[in-house]
Every structure is written in C-alpha cells, then in structure tokens.
Structure 1
Amino acid sequence: MHKFHGEAEHMRDNRLKELFGAGETVVNAWVSADSAYLAETLSHAGFDSVTVDLQHGMFGLDGAVRLIQAVSAGPAVPLARTPALDAAVIGKLLDAGAYGIICPAVDDPVQAARFVAMCRYPPTGVRSYGPARANLAQVPGYVERADAQILTWAMIESRAALDAVEEIASTPGLDGVFVGPNDLALALGVEPGLAVPPPEVEAALARIAEAAHAAGRIAGAFALGTEAALRLTGQGYDFVTPGGDMAILRRAAAEAVAAVRGTAVTTAPSGGY
C-alpha cells in the first residue's frame, strides 16, 4: 500500500477511502497541542489518519495549517476538525491539505447539507477555488478529483442531533457521522468522561452506528483510551480515536513514573470530547 507522503502525478488518493471500502477499522490520532513535532511524530506512529483539532486545540488557524503540513510529512492522512459550520474556515483547512473535515454541532439534515456543500466545489457545492498548499505541485486534475477524495463527518453531540440522526446520516454526499461522547452525555443530562459511558450514552452510540450503517455511511467516534475504542469497534464503529495526544502523553508519563517508583499509576481525568 502506498504511503501518503510524497508527490504524485495528480491529486493523491485518500487512502482512508480504500480502507473503509475494504471494511477495515481506521484508527485515528488527535492533535490538540500546538506542536508540529508532535503532529509529525503521530503521523509516523502507525495511525491511519491524524486529526488536527481547531475547535478545542491550543492553536488558531495559522497553527492548524502548520500542523496539517507536519502530518502530511508522514504516512497518515491529514484530517481536521473545524471549530464551527463556517465555509471560510472549512475552505482554508481543505486548501491547506486536509483530506477530511469533522464538523461539530450538526443538529439537523439542513445543517448537514450545508456542511457537505462547503466541502465541495460548484456546481455541487460552494467551496471557493484556491487549493493553495493542497495543490502545491500545480498538477492538473485537483478540482476535478477533490470532491471524490475529501471525506465529511457530521458530529452528533446534541439531543436534537440524536433525534435526527437517521435523517442526518442520509444527507446526500455526507460520508459519515462522528460522536463526541462527552458532549453527548452532557446533552442527555448524564455524567461525561466516565471510563464506561452511562446507559443513555451507550444506547445513543448504538443508535448512531446503526443509523450510519443503514445509510451506508461511516460511523466514527472519539474514545477515552484503548478499552473504550475496543468497545466502539465492538459496536460496529469503523473510525475510532483511542484518546487525544495529551491523554496519551499523560498516561505514558504516569506509567513510566509509576514503574520506576514501584507505585500505582495515577493520572488526571483524560479529557476528551
């Protein structure tokens, strides 16, 4: 399988589409730290993709562009989470080289359709021309191929979105849905951040995966570690993030300290979304 980094004679194929098409589980990394070194390291760590989080990450749009560059230096596919349903920001992230966008707070199929349009060129959508870094080599065919290569996930993280998940998942052109379990827990009135989600969240996760697959879409979610990620794959999720960068770092650091001191591992809450 070819690696993602390096130039090609035309717009590079999105390797995630090949993996999803083959029924593989895609394992995604998550970057919230403003460190190109960290982003590049994660791209070389074996993850299929690395998501640059502009919603809650500790950087702005300029920083996100640098992090997408860093991810692109390795084999992982660069993705980004936009902070909002904003055509200008989404277009900028795509122009910087993101091969997929995760959009938060999509509460209904109308918003989902607007999101898809922001990621597609006319006449299908409203994305403005200007692929900048995404087409540095100025090879022909980028615009013609971009719509088929860019992946789109609508986040399901509110009661309204859960109530409309079947309609959202059926939005023409949408590739998948993505769950933020902690925000969804808050929306459902239960405690977020638990190692094992409350029954209300577990039921919602099952419903969301079922709705995605019934519509032929990708079911994705953020997980608070590897055990949670395995529970998600057991529920049929195709696209999982087994913890964010800082949670992984904190856990590894705590385990190293505990191993040397011969004490129990103690860590702060892992955060997450």
Structure 2
Amino acid sequence: MHKNKLLDIFQKGKAVVNGWLAIPSSFSAEIMAHQGWDSLTVDLQHGVSDYQTAISMLQAISTTDTVPLARVPWLEEGIIMRMLDAGVYGIICPMVNTQEDAERFVQACYYPPLGQRSFGPIRAVLTAGADYPSQANDHILPIAMIETKQALDNLDDILKVEGLKMIYIGPSDLSNSLGCTPTFDQEEKPVVEAIDYILRKSLEHGVIPGIHNGFPPYALKMVEKGFRFVTISSDARLLGMSAKNFVDTMRGGMDQGNQKEALSKDQASGY
C-alpha cells in the first residue's frame, strides 16, 4: 500500500501544511495539488462539492503525491465510509462533542477488529494498492473536529478514545459557541484560551493537534505553539483575494493615471 506520508511528517516532529478545497472543480483541485501542499482536504460540509464531484477532484489530486483528505458533512457512517472507499487517507468529522461521538466516528474509519467499517474499497485499491484492505487501518487518520463548548467540557473523554489519531479546531464554530465573533486567526481571549487548552490536552493524550487558519503568519504562530497540522485559507478564498488584489491594483493605477491626465489638462488651460 502507498504510505500515508503525513504519518512520516508527524514521526519526524514536523508540521503538515494542508490546503482546503471548497470549489467543486477537478481542474482547480489539480492546480492546488501542484502547488506543494502536503495534503488537500475536499470539503463536503461547507464547500460546494457533492460526492460525484469529489471523486473527480480526488482523481485530479492523484496526479501528484499530495495526500487526499475529506471533511464530511456530519457524523454519518455512510458518507465517512464512501469517502474512505474513494481513496482519502483521512476523514475530518465536524461537531464531535462527546466520547460517544468520537467512538462512533472512529468505528466507521477502521476495518474489523478495530472498527466496523464496511468492506468495499472500490477506488482506494486502485490508488493505494491491492494490499489496501490489509493495511488501511495503519494509514487512515480519523480527525475529530473540536468546535463547541460541549466538546471542551468533554475533551479528556474524547481524546482518550482508542484509534483517534488527530483533532482539528474549527475556530469559527468554536468562537460562536463561546459567544465570540466567528472568524479565523482568533485573538479574542476566551477563544485563545480554549485553543491553548485543546492544544495542551491533545499533546498530553498523544493526539495530533490541528487547526484551520486564515493567513500564514497566524498558522506559523500555531506551529510554534505546537500544532502539527495547519490549514491555510481555502481555494475559494485564495482565488477571491488574488483576483481582488489584481483588480484593486489596476483600479489604483488607472485612478492615478486619470489624476495625472486631469492635472495636465488643468495646467494646459492655465488653471
């Protein structure tokens, strides 16, 4: 089976740089895959992709050695297993709030005897190798999102669930749950304290901590703190920001040109 290279990065004590795919396009996924991300996550929760589109995006990612991951819409075994069968190496599951949620999630990610995943890796055997069925449990990453006050209250119980490899902070929902402004790159004290608490507890339990970020400076600060998996923005946000920057630069340059032209006319008319 082709190895999950994220595990090698973690074993070396380094951090994974993860990209985020919200646009339902195999071509944009292919472009993102060729930019050097360690992994790319197809977002089926708040992104615009459905299952069929996700398959074409995973095929595009497979043109590189970028590790494919997926965020599922909810804690529901059917879509978790389908995305694993499609060939992703990890599942990010939203709103894992209790030990029972975490146990149910982990069970859906692993084949027996570790879990209850149904057998049928229709695409995974093509991309990962014919020995996928016997090796998958060693390479799949169940990643539970910690993003509510309830999850904070139950954090120790969640983190002790056997087979849970990673947690992932959703800053916006976490902020909402704590009565703060939903945003990335949080600086509000209650959210910063919660992020630090989740980080500390994760490391205590030997669970890899991850977090979604808006911009590289904040992501780098999170890596310095000890986070081992950092997402920066998304394809949709990167496209929007880059396009706006180009347009604003053009508008600014054209406005300066118009001002110079108007000044020249004024000078020529004697005003």
Determine the structure 1 residue equivalent to 2:265: none
Asked if 1:152 is matched to 2:142, the reply is yes
Structure 2 gaps of 5+ residues are: 254-271
Query: Which of 221, 235, 239 is the matching residue for 1:245?
Result: 235
The residue type equivalent to 1:168 in the other structure is: I
Determine the structure 1 residue equivalent to 2:65: 75
State the Cα deviation string for residues 135-172 of structure 1 (Å, max 9, x = none): 02795421110000001110001111011112212211
Q: SS of the residue aligned with 1:125?
A: coil
CA–CA distance in 2 between the matches of 1:159 and 1:138? 38
Q: SS of the residue aligned with 1:132?
A: coil
- Contact in 1 for aligned 2:184/2:213 (Cα 8 Å): no
Aligned length: 253
Determine the structure 2 residue equivalent to 1:179: 169
Structure 1 pair 251/87, CA: closer, same or farther in 2 (3 Å)?
Answer: same
- List aligned pairs for 1:36-185, cutoff 5 A: 36-136=26-126, 140-185=130-175
CA–CA distance in 2 between the matches of 1:37 and 1:137? 19
CA–CA distance in 2 between the matches of 1:140 and 1:50? 23
CA–CA distance in 1 between the matches of 2:47 and 2:155? 26
- Contact in 1 for aligned 2:171/2:184 (Cα 8 Å): no
Determine the structure 1 residue equivalent to 2:258: none
- Contact in 2 for aligned 1:54/1:60 (Cα 8 Å): yes
The residue type equivalent to 2:167 in the other structure is: V
- Give aligned-pair identity as a percent: 40
The residue type equivalent to 1:43 in the other structure is: A
Q: SS of the residue aligned with 2:168?
A: strand
Determine the structure 2 residue equivalent to 1:200: 190
CA–CA distance in 1 between the matches of 2:164 and 2:199? 15
Determine the structure 2 residue equivalent to 1:271: none
CA–CA distance in 2 between the matches of 1:138 and 1:242? 26
CA–CA distance in 2 between the matches of 1:262 and 1:101? 44
Determine the structure 2 residue equivalent to 1:13: 3
- Contact in 2 for aligned 1:44/1:75 (Cα 8 Å): no
State the Cα deviation string for residues 41-89 of structure 1 (Å, max 9, x = none): 1111010000000111112111122212221222210000011111111
Structure 1 gaps of 5+ residues are: 1-10, 264-273
The residue type equivalent to 2:179 in the other structure is: G
Determine the structure 1 residue equivalent to 2:222: 232
Structure 1 pair 15/110, CA: closer, same or farther in 2 (3 Å)?
Answer: same
CA–CA distance in 1 between the matches of 2:141 and 2:39? 12
Q: For the pair shown, which has the larger CA radius of gyration, 1 or 2? A: 2
- Contact in 2 for aligned 1:108/1:161 (Cα 8 Å): yes
Task: Write 1 or 2 for the structure with the bigger share of helix.
Answer: 2
Q: SS of the residue aligned with 2:180?
A: coil
CA-based RMSD of the aligned residues comes to: 1.5
Q: SS of the residue aligned with 1:230?
A: helix
Structure 1 pair 95/15, CA: closer, same or farther in 2 (3 Å)?
Answer: same
Determine the structure 2 residue equivalent to 1:266: none
Q: SS of the residue aligned with 1:252?
A: helix
Q: SS of the residue aligned with 1:59?
A: coil
Determine the structure 1 residue equivalent to 2:13: 23
Normalised to the residue count of structure 1, the TM-score between the two structures is 0.89
Q: SS of the residue aligned with 2:247?
A: helix
Mean CA deviation greater in 251-260 or 77-86:
251-260
CA–CA distance in 2 between the matches of 1:101 and 1:214? 22
CA–CA distance in 1 between the matches of 2:128 and 2:224? 43
Query: Which of 214, 219, 223 is the matching residue for 2:204?
Result: 214
